[in-house]
Structure 1
């Protein structure tokens, strides 16, 4: 049996897709690009565009693979209304729960002709462990330690799609990082919907989990995929400042640089509070780089509020920006606040933010003239990887390179060039 997986959305979705592939391969399935028996579409619903693209990928899969069974999984699968789900004509639909059962459910599906819809939330259900023992290339591995969200930002449907917060147990997490290091991985990225809200059975926080992970491993380094500013504790800052195996990069979503917009978004901080914490992080970890997410064209965002955001982002000196034009999601509080900013204006604002991101990236990279890089890929004698601060690097070498390389950096428009 052959299968394909199409993945939309975030890094957590990408992680989960790799898990599905591994479990299917263990059952004897083969991943392929065409002539497949099962098409899996791992969906996203964070924006209207993402939901529409999810539907498009589902219909495309059926068109190009008319004899294949269609499996729809993920956030859009969970939030789609009954009429929408009927139109998808999927053979198997899995939402926020039962994702770790996908491979077994696919096997069941192929044995009969019944379609199944597994999108009910189960109150009190725990964390669904989805361990991946080995990643391609053996350089960077990912470990999902948390799922769900309790924050309910006014624009976001993720709490409805993924359910309430839940965490992997500390014993299982420690076992998994040891296995990933034993498999040859050099770096482990902790990921989740709210990674910073990982919580142990006895109330331990993310910093405590990382300390234990550092204790049970020898050489592997650690990154945090994304974390909220309110979750960057003093203990986590101390860990970043004192532990050389903690990479000096954080991705902290700010979403807006205007207090009025942040209030409409229901974000749990003001610009001043965010900035104060950011400066505390930088004072303790001078070589850290901090990147962020921003939303432009939010409901009723005025020209003055946008200009305020531009000034704030420039002042905060982020290393780069992920830019998202606002997209209304039905059922969220923001969808009842009024119309979004005109699409043309949104595009203009997004373009300015992307230009600012390029400017900020170059400014941050200019701080470093020597760094350590984890080499990840090679093509025609050109090796690529990322610095500890998560800046891209190219290395030209006539001899094989692997692992971590330290060298001089030359700044270029698309990253660094390293001399070895």
Structure 2
């Protein structure tokens, strides 16, 4: 098969959840003997210079990058209020991208065009017009669900009204566009359920994020005792909200109980919130060179998400590394790990602090959960098996 992946931002370097998830499919399909091309919007926020791409990546996927400014701008955002369009989506519409896509489809034939995220769906019309390929939506998240949950957390009445407007328009758009594809590859069973509840009538399959476990075949640092850590991109609002919730509402409880425990924070784009991270025994590292070494070098991973959708890639990778993870019901969504068996789940400041306390005081519990976590991840998220299932899903459309 020949597959074109359309991406809402350049899936390189492979350091954040979106890039890792996209790359798992690209690499997996390539490894299975299929031809893959990547065409991506190149946002200012996550801009990548073409010359910085590795030559083997260029040779494999022949990527096409099209610059676009998707930053929220006050005037367009205000004017959008008086339209009926989703501002979340229209920011990703680019005339240049449509022209480049037309050029590509006019010169090459594809069996499958995979739309990696809702924000590439404005280009479905172009694909339908100039290609006979089957169009598959790779739903990394149920986007309107993220905004619904964010609206619920907002206390400011004006912001709450605006977030509700964005959420409702996004839900209307998402509910309409999903039935215009040939099929949907949902990232988890829970997301599949949400999409069906939204009215999806198409063939829909669960295609989890796959992990190439070859990354485990090297030596990792020993963990520093009595350490907690967070890792995540810090211009993604669910990460920022969850981290600040933990620092404001949970950390003081933990620090009083364990004054020597350190909490490390790693992640790109932390500068805008740096002043809000100034707490006792909190060490801000910014972007780390090797995420796996960083994860291995600390004891307990914290993922305090209060709103999101999809699946947290870093949780899957940390499970594979045998890390003890404390997260929320939202954080574990789509992963189906079990509380006290292969992960710890807590949703309130006190229960979150109590979970940390229990793990710090009971090393045998930590060891047992860590061993179970490693086994669980390797059984459930093996990329070779996931890609085999995705190929079968693709071929079911080509045989029609």
TM-score range, shorter chain: 0.3 to 0.5
Give the TM-score of the pair, scaled to structure 2: 0.32
Of structures 1 and 2, the one with the larger relative CO (CA 8 A, separation 6+) is 2
| Greater strand fraction, Structure 1 or Structure 2 | 1
Give the TM-score of the pair, scaled to structure 1: 0.31
